[in-house]
Amino acid sequence: MIKVLLADDSNLARTILRDIFHRTSDIAVVGEAADGREAVDKSRLLKPDLVIMDILMPVMDGMAAIEEIMATSPVPILVLSSTMEDREVHSAFAAIKKGALDVMGKPGGADFILTEDFQARLVEKVRLLARIRVIHHLNRAFVEPVPAPVPPQDAAPTILAVGASTGGPRAVLSILKALPADFPGAVYIVQHIAQGFARGFAKWLDTESSISVRLAEDGEGVSPGEAVVAPNDCHMIMENGHIKLIDAPPVNCCRPSIDVLFNALAEDQGARVLGVLLTGMGKDGALGLRRIRECGGATLVQDEETSVVFGMPRAAISLNAAGQVLPLSGIPHAILRLFGKNDQFRMQ
């Protein structure tokens, strides 16, 4: 049985969530909290398998509560955002930076209008996140890892393609923050993320990074030192050096799909692509990464120890798609060395 703690100052929200889980056979609500301080105390006392956390709460807000929980009694945390306004969406991603695993929006915002689609997605998300092992998430000084060896390339790449799913927002951020403003490559990102959060994810990355990050638009080009994030609910590909957003069926149950982007970039740009596959459940991106490698591009995969979920990286390794398997802290070093910028690693 999955034990869930609900932390939300809205009695309506807690009632709706309680009713959703009451209809399942494997999820039980073991406690409720109406403010952040109560959430911290009950998390320590009840030892739930997952905490569902609102951000805007009295006494102690969700941000501070997440930080204390992850420092003292770490547990998987799912953030439920009540609005899609920029400020709260940014706060939701800041919560991920502090240790939360994922974020979802409440349908109907603060009014919390229940839909069957939301109920199904929430139950699926809870079952996934509750199985993830988390560790203490404390603020520590950055320790620069020993650079990993990078195999020689015929020419430096010009495109960096990044794919991620569960645990990805924090991993993607750690890579982009390490890139200098004059990074000589165009960056394409597919992050599996809840409906409505792709634009906020791009804005958050833009705020936190030296390079420019924006949501991808159909027909535009991407210059060196710029990054684009695939929008929700459409695939992103490249044709003749320009982005094309397509409304094709999901691939690997995903839209946008990492495989779709990686395959398109491999066919359009060949050896000029460096593909990076990060933490995530399932196998999306593995075949596409292999295609990049077959076309002469370099490929990097996050290792098991630093992945929140090792599904996608494991699938890539099993297909011999990984040119290198590296800890997350070593991936920026490898990227910069392949792009000829090995002397510009930005310590975080």
Marked catalytic residue, from 43, 82, 91, 165: 165
Closest by Cα among 19, 49, 50, 56 to 34? 56
CA-to-CA distance for 155 and 238, rounded, in angstroms? 21
**Active-site residue (options: 49, 54, 284, 303):** 284
For residues 205 and 215, is the Cβ–Cβ distance under 8 A? Answer: no
Question: Does the annotation mark 43 as catalytic?
Answer: no
**b/e map 47-66, b = 16+ CB within 10 Å:** ebbbbbbbbbbeebbbbbbb
Candidate list 35, 91, 174, 192, residue with the active-site label: 192
DSSP string covering 305-322: TT-SS-HHHHHHHHTT--
Neighbour-count burial of 176, counting CB atoms closer than 10 A to its CB (0-12 exposed, 13-18 middle, 19+ buried): buried
To the query of whether residue 284 is one of the catalytic residues in this protein, the response is yes
Distance separating alpha carbons of residues 57 and 36, to the nearest angstrom: 6
Q: How far is CA 192 from the centre of its chain?
A: 7
CA–CA dist 18, 39 (Å, integer): 16
90 labelled catalytic: no
Q: Which residues are catalytic?
A: 165, 192, 284
